[in-house]
Amino acid sequence: MAHFSHNVHEDIKKVLLTEEQIRKRVAELGAQISEDYAGKELVVIFVLKGASIFFADLIRSIVVPIRIDSIAAASYGNTTKSSGTVRIEKDIETPIEGKHVLLVEDIIDTGLTLSYLKAYFERQKPASLRVITLLDKPVARKVQLIPDYNGFTVGNEFVVGYGLDYAQRFRNLPYIAIPKDYVWNDEEKE
Ligand code: IMP
């Protein structure tokens, strides 16, 4: 039986990245993307559900014209280990052939999800395809994948907040953090 608090902040052991640090970095990334794609139009696709908050903040600091779409890929389920299998559960609706595409991810861990999605989109013949991730965990990589844009590099630890979950919890934290130890022992995972 889990002992979760009624307030999600109380289940947090350590804040890794504050709201202010994230806000500043997201604004920088938006400015960089606006410069790199000046004079072009962009299709910005985010990976559900984890990248939703990063995406919402990021696109508001991009000034070139964009269209948005989303894709859902089956990931870890409720454990912290990669299953290695990727399945598309919800596809994009926008035709991307001949378009400049930016794929927005929350975190790159083994790299399996993104390398699968990159290959999937490449087959649709976009004019260009780049990847942005809020967090990069390079030491956990199983396939070679270097993001075109990266917010922050983190160590090999499981982090939550700002869209990222553990067993579907903690997405609503406005910062990136590590939960208290008892959270990992929760037997009531969905
Ligand atoms: P990959 O295929 O191993 O790169 O896994 C990418 C996906 O795993 C991310 O989009 C997240 O949904 C999930 N993930 C990996 N590491 C973490 C973490 O530290 N916290 C929360 N989710 C994570």
Question: Is ligand 1 within 6 A of the CB of residue 75?
Answer: yes
86 Cα nearest atom in ligand 1: 2
What percent of the chain is modeled with pLDDT above 70?
90
Q: What is the pTM of this model?
A: 0.93
pLDDT, averaged across the chain = 93
Instruction: Give 14 Cα–ligand 1 centroid separation in angstroms.
Output: 19
Active-site position among 11, 57, 106, 109:
109
pLDDT tens by residue, 54-103: 999 999 999 999 999 999 998 655 556 665 678 899 999 999 999 999 99
Give the model's pLDDT for residue 86: 84
Rounded CA gap, 103 and 131, in Å? 5
Instruction: Give 162 Cα–ligand 1 centroid separation in angstroms.
Output: 13
Starting from the edge strand earliest in sequence, which strands make up the sheet with 88-90, in order?
88-90, 66-73, 42-48, 100-108, 128-136, 149-153
pLDDT tens by residue, 159-190: 999 999 999 999 999 999 999 999 998 655 54
Give the list of residues 6+ apart from residue 157 with CB closer than 8 angstroms, or none: 178
Question: Is ligand 1 within 6 A of the CB of residue 133?
Answer: no
Give the model's pLDDT for residue 186: 66
Position 4 confidence tier, pLDDT thresholds 50, 70, 90 = confident
The residue-averaged pLDDT of 135-143 equals 95
End-to-end CA distance of the chain: 13
Instruction: Give 81 Cα–ligand 1 centroid separation in angstroms.
Output: 9
Question: Is ligand 1 within 6 A of the CB of residue 158?
Answer: yes
Extract the tokens encoding 32: 């960089």
String of b and e for 46-67 (b: at least 16 CB within 10 Å)?
bbbbbbbbbbebbbebbebeee
Give the model's pLDDT for residue 77: 53
